[in-house]
Amino acid sequence: MLFAPLAAEENPFALVVDPYWILVSIIQFLVLYWLLRRFLWGPVTRTLDDRARRIREGLDLAEASKRERERIKEEVAELLARARREAGAIAERTTKAAEAAAADIRTQAKAEADRIREKGRTDAQQLHDQALAQLRSEVAAMAVLAASRILGREINADQHRALIERSLDEAGGELKQN
């Protein structure tokens, strides 16, 4: 049926296959296949291989950068923790130093207040002693003057003053005991 030239004569629309053209088509297909394989398939596969290699390299780089980012994040967290610990230690040392300075200042202020208080007592005692000595001297002078007026004559002022001083000392001792 296929190779029937007679059939073509009978039906002008019948499909006729010529073996020569089949052979030519096979040869053309093989030549085209060889040309495509040689000039097109090689570069296309090389391009696809290069692209696949670059994609793998890009994925590897992305994975490496992700690991690096995680490592850096951990380092940053560690540095922040260390900085917080150091800041806490510095704050604690500063607080202790301030407390020590405050205690030292309080101690110095107390010592200064005690010194001023003691100096005030000493000064008051000196003023008291001076006032008492001056009072004794004036009382003795008035007693001598009063005794000389009462007696109407002059008595020995040194003897009388010694007598009055002794009397005042005895009276002062009795007053201190009460």
pLDDT, position 91: 93
| Residue at 162 is within a domain | yes
Domain assignment present for 12: no
Assigned domain for 4 exists = no
What's 37's DSSP letter? I
How many domains would you assign to the chain?
A: 1
* Domain annotation covers residue 1: no
Mean pLDDT across the stretch 77-83? Answer: 95
Name the E strands within the chain. none
* Residue 41 forms part of a structural domain: yes
Neighbours of 144 (CB within 10 A): 20
Characterise 11 by phi-psi region: left (phi > 0), alpha (psi -120 to 50), beta (else). beta
- Is 62 within the bounds of a domain? yes
Domain that holds residue 122: 19-173
pLDDT at 151: 64
Domain membership of residue 124 (yes or no) is: yes
pLDDT, average across residues 107-120? 93
> CA-to-CA distance for 178 and 169, rounded, in angstroms?
15
pLDDT in tens, 142-175: 776 666 666 655 567 776 777 777 777 776 666 5
Judged against a pLDDT cut of 70, whether residue 21 lies above it is answered with: yes
Angle at 156 between CA 152 and CA 161, to 5 degrees: 105
Q: Note the pLDDT tens digit of each residue in 33-68.
A: 999 888 888 888 899 999 999 999 999 999 999 999
Residue 38 lies in a domain: yes
